[in-house]
Amino acid sequence: METVLRIQQLNKHFPNGKHALRDVNLNVLRGEMVALIGASGSGKSTLLRHIAGLVVADGASESLIEVDGCCVQRGGRVSRDIRRVRANIGFVFQQFNLVSRLPVLVNVMVGLLHRTPRWRGWLRLFTPQQRAQAVDALQRVGIAECHAQRASTLSGGQQQRAAIARALVQGAKVVLADEPIASLDPESSRKVMEILTRINREDRCTVIVSLHQVEMALKYCPRVVALHQGQVVFDGPSTTLTPALLRELYGVQVDEILPSHTPTPTHAPQSDGVPVHMLPQPALASWRAAGA
C-alpha cells in the first residue's frame, strides 16, 4: 500500500505563543479511514487545516506535508501550486462552509471549478454534464431533491451532506473532515458518518475524520490517532484503544471525550441510530469480532 499522506516534523506555534502542534509525524496509506480524536484544543482542527494548506507551520522548520506525492507545505511555506494540490483534498468543515445564498447544486459544482475553463467558472457557465455529475453526487448522499434550493434552507445534516457531495465531484483522493458531526443531531450524525464510510469503501477515498467523541471513532474507523496538547499520543488500531488506555492518555480530560463514563460497563442494547452515550465494552468486543 502506498502512502497517500506524509507528515514530518510538524510544529505550530500560534501568535499567542501556544504550542498547538508538537513534532507531529504521521503516515496514512491509500484507502485508510482514520479517526483523529482528542479533547477540544488538542490540535485536531489545526492539524487538518495544515494538511489542506489553509494554515502554515512554523517558519524555518524541517516540517513537510505531502498529499498523494505532492508537497502541500515545507518548512512553513505553502507550495507554489497549492491550488492544484488542494484539488486532491476534499475538506468537510464543522460549520459546512457552504455559500448560503447559492443553490445547493452550485455549491456542489464549486468542486468542479479546478478543472473547468477559467472564463466558464467566472461566469458560472456549467455544462449539462457537470450539472448531471453534481446531481449524481447529491443522489449518492441522498439529497438530490434539494438541488435547486438555496443552501441556507437545508437542515444542518443536509448541508453537511451537500458539502460531502462537493468533495465527491471534486474527485478528492483524500477527504479531511473536521468535526463533521459536532453540530448535528444523532440521526444526521449517523448518516454523515455512514456516507463517509461509504465513500471510503466505494471510491477508495482516504478519509481522515476528527471526532470529539471516542465512541464514533471506534464505531466507524479502523485506525485511531489520538492527540493530546498537540502531540500524537496514540496511533493504532481502534481495537486496542481501551477506556483504561484513554484514561491513561488524557487524565482528567478523558471526561470530555468519554461523556457520562461509568467505571463498570453496562450492557446497554446497541442498535443502529441510537446514540451510545458511553464507551461500551461490548461494542469494542463486537468491533473485534467483526474483524475490522
Partner 1 sequence: MQATRPSAAIALAASTAPKRSLTWYLSWAMLLLLLAASWRGADMRPFDLWRDSGNMATYAADFFPPDFTQWRLYAHEMVITLQIALWGTVLAVVTAVPMALLASANIVPWWVYQPIRRFMDGCRAINEMVFAMLFVVAVGLGPFAGVLALWIHTTGVLAKLFSETVEAIDPQPVEGIRSTGASAMHEIVYGVIPQVIPMWISFTLYRLESNVRSASVVGMVGAGGIGVVLWEIIRGFQYAETGAVMLIIIVTVSAIDLLSAHVRKLLV
Tell me which residues touch partner 1 (CB under 8 A). 52, 54, 83-91, 93, 95-102, 106, 110-111, 113-114, 118, 121-122, 124, 163, 166-167, 170
Closer residue to partner 1, CB minimum distance, 95 or 155: 95
Q: How far is the CB of 121 from partner 1 (least distance, A)?
A: 6
Q: How far is the CB of 244 from partner 1 (least distance, A)?
A: 38
Q: How far is the CB of 106 from partner 1 (least distance, A)?
A: 7
75/73 Cα distance (integer angstroms): 7
Closer residue to partner 1, CB minimum distance, 85 or 257: 85
Question: Counting Cβ atoms within 10 Å, is residue 266 exposed (0-12), middle (13-18) or buried (19+)?
Answer: exposed
Which residues 6+ apart lie within 8 Å of 195 measured at CB? Answer: 140, 141, 142, 161, 164
Which residues 6+ apart lie within 8 Å of 282 measured at CB? Answer: 265, 267, 268, 270
Please report, for residues 83, 114, 151, the alpha-carbon distance to residue 160 in angstroms, rounded to integers and kept in the order given. 23, 21, 10
In the chain, where does DSSP find H-type helix? 44-51, 82-86, 104-109, 118-122, 128-140, 156-170, 186-202, 214-220, 243-250, 254-257, 281-289
Closer residue to partner 1, CB minimum distance, 76 or 103: 103
Q: For the chain, give the number of residues.
A: 292
Closer residue to partner 1, CB minimum distance, 82 or 181: 82
Burial 72-96 (b: 16+ CB within 10 A, else e): bbbeeebbeebeebbbbbbbbbbeb
Please report, for residues 82, 175, 206, 219, the alpha-carbon distance to residue 73 in angstroms, rounded to integers and kept in the order given. 8, 18, 19, 32
Closer residue to partner 1, CB minimum distance, 9 or 97: 97
Q: How far is the CB of 59 from partner 1 (least distance, A)?
A: 18
Closer residue to partner 1, CB minimum distance, 39 or 89: 89
Q: How far is the CB of 94 from partner 1 (least distance, A)?
A: 10
209/216 Cα distance (integer angstroms): 10
Q: How far is the CB of 216 from partner 1 (least distance, A)?
A: 22
Closer residue to partner 1, CB minimum distance, 31 or 121: 121
Q: How far is the CB of 214 from partner 1 (least distance, A)?
A: 26
Q: How far is the CB of 114 from partner 1 (least distance, A)?
A: 4
> Which of 12, 13, 17, 15 lies closest to 63 in space, CA to CA?
12
40/54 Cα distance (integer angstroms): 19
Closer residue to partner 1, CB minimum distance, 135 or 279: 135
